[in-house]
């Protein structure tokens, strides 16, 4: 079974469609925040079409969300999904994943919270920079950004058969893998 991770889509319709297509066989997808709005510090993404992205996401029942710093109540209204929760725990295939956008706390605090919740993996976004590593007994994943990467390439990630894979959408290749 596959569990997908996307983050920081920022209204990028074609970029998000590309990531969702890669994750089409995922049982569930976790969106780690910053869904529709591009934010005041970012240039408008090339594929910026938040209205069309909202229409697409409102039709999907397989995506769970955590609220990012660019998400607003109106975003929740137009995608008709819960965007109010700043963190959540997803249990999948015997593992617990702690999801949080990651703009209100340090990485150390996220790792500590994940440990307190009995989670194996902490997944955050916000920085638009890909991370996949083990720290202090917890796997730390940032799937990067599907739309506005700050490290050179658009990306997403997924869990499959006891392994997390970080995927480069631009080069269509695996960046890194780690066993849980």
63-84 pLDDT, tens digit each: 999 999 999 999 999 999 999 9
Least confident of 38-42, 105-109, 133-137, 154-158: 38-42
Average pLDDT, the chain: 97
Query: Which residue in 7, 8, 26 sits closest to 160, CA to CA?
Result: 26
Q: Name the domain count of the chain.
A: 1
Q: How high is the pLDDT of residue 164?
A: 98
Report residue 176's pLDDT band, with 50, 70 and 90 as the boundaries: very high
Check pLDDT > 90 for residue 23. yes
Instruction: Output the pLDDT for position 48.
Output: 97
Q: Count other C-beta atoms under 10 Å from residue 144's C-beta.
A: 32
Q: Report pLDDT for 41.
A: 87
Query: Rounded to an integer, what distance in angstroms lies between the CA atom of residue 59 and that of residue 64?
Result: 13
pLDDT at 75: 95
pLDDT at 34 over 90: yes
| Residue pair 74/50 in contact by the 8 Å Cβ criterion | no
**Predicted local confidence at residue 168, as pLDDT:** 98
Residue 43 or 172, more confident: 172
* Domain limits for position 105: 2-179
Q: Which H/E stretch holds residue 2? A: strand 2-6
Query: Cα(168)–Cα(150) distance, rounded to whole angstroms?
Result: 13
Kindly state the percentage of the chain with pLDDT values over 90: 95
pLDDT of 1 over the 90 cut: no
Residue 86: which CATH number? 3.60.21.10
* Predicted confidence (pLDDT) at residue 42 exceeds the cutoff of 90: no
What is the pLDDT averaged over residues 87-103?
Answer: 98
Angle at 33 between CA 88 and CA 97, to 5 degrees: 35
For residue 39, name the pLDDT band (cuts at 50, 70, 90): confident
């Amino acid at each position: 079974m596959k569990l997908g991770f996307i983050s920081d889509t920022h209204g990028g319709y074609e970029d998000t469609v590309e990531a969702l297509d890669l994750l089409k066989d995922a049982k569930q997808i976790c969106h780690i925040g910053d869904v529709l709005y591009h934010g005041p510090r970012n240039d408008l993404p090339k594929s910026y079409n938040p209205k069309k992205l909202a229409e697409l996401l409102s039709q999907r029942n397989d995506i769970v969300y955590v609220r990012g710093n660019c998400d607003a109540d109106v975003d929740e209204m137009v995608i008709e999904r819960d965007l109010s929760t700043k963190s959540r725990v997803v249990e999948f295939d015997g593992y617990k994943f702690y999801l949080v956008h990651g703009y209100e706390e340090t990485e150390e605090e996220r790792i500590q919270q994940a440990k307190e919740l009995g989670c194996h993996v902490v997944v955050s976004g916000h920085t638009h920079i890909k991370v996949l590593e083990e720290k202090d007994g917890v796997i730390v994943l940032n799937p990067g950004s599907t739309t506005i990467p700050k490290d050179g390439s658009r990306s997403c990630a997924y869990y499959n058969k006891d392994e997390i894979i970080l995927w480069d959408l631009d080069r269509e290749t695996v960046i890194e893998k780690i066993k849980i």
